[in-house]
Amino acid sequence: MECVFGLVGKGFAIVAADTSAVNSILVHKSNEDKVMVLDSHKLLGASGEPGDRVQFTEYIQKNVHLYQFRNGIPLTTAATANFTRGELATALRKNPYSVNILLAGYDKGVGPSMYYIDYIATMHKIEKGAFGYGSYFCLSMMDRLYHPDMSIEEAIELIDKCIIEIRTRLVVAPPNFVIKIVDQDGAREYAWRESIKSPDVSMA
């Protein structure tokens, strides 16, 4: 029941994801952040088996950092997407990861970009995309309302419409979502859309 979706606007890219950690009929938590900040100008939204998702995204993050430490320059968004696809393709023939990824980034001189990478190592450069059951509603909304020159305000409005549609029409809809943005000023958290607050549980 996971939902990860995003789009590229004028000078920025946005990735949003649900924040539910679910197993079978149980909800373990509703504040799981599934959009990782890879480095200063990259976001990685992932869906899939929780163990694979956490392990693989951390593996990609640490290798992106390692490349920058060794070479003194960061990987571009395109290079990071190709590296990620290559690692999924290698694992596919050994011990596959059940992970689908939306990778967004901003490169100086190039601008914002987004890449769709699925669990069988298919990669496409896209302007809008989604994974999970929420994609049935998000993609149709984006087909109708998206245009490449969207402002941040217009993009957030579209993201909010997608979230409302998911909550309204998906039978087991996730209640909470996190929205992150990347532009020339860097990758950062933009907002949470919460309908259920996680309780504060402290150990005595």
Cα-Cα-Cα-Cα dihedral of 194, 42, 62, 94, to 10°? Answer: 90
pLDDT truncated to tens, each residue of the chain (204 aa)?
A: 789 999 999 999 999 999 988 887 888 888 889 999 999 999 999 999 989 999 999 999 999 999 999 999 999 999 999 999 999 999 999 999 999 999 999 999 999 999 999 999 999 999 999 998 889 999 999 999 999 999 999 999 999 999 999 999 888 888 899 999 999 999 999 988 877 666 554 544
Residue pair 116/129 in contact (Cβ under 8 Å)? The answer is yes
Q: What's the whole-number average pLDDT of the chain?
A: 91
25: helix, coil or strand? coil
Amino acid at the residue 134? G
Entry pTM = 0.90
Residue pair 114/6 in contact (Cβ under 8 Å)? The answer is yes
Closest CA to 108 of 175, 189, 41: 41
What digits encode the pLDDT tens for the residues 44-53? 999 999 899 9
| Own/partner pairs, 191-199, CB within 8 angstroms, 24+ separation | 191/156, 192/19, 193/160, 193/163, 195/167, 196/30, 198/29, 198/30, 198/31
Sort strands 99-107 and 35-39 into parallel, antiparallel or unpaired: unpaired
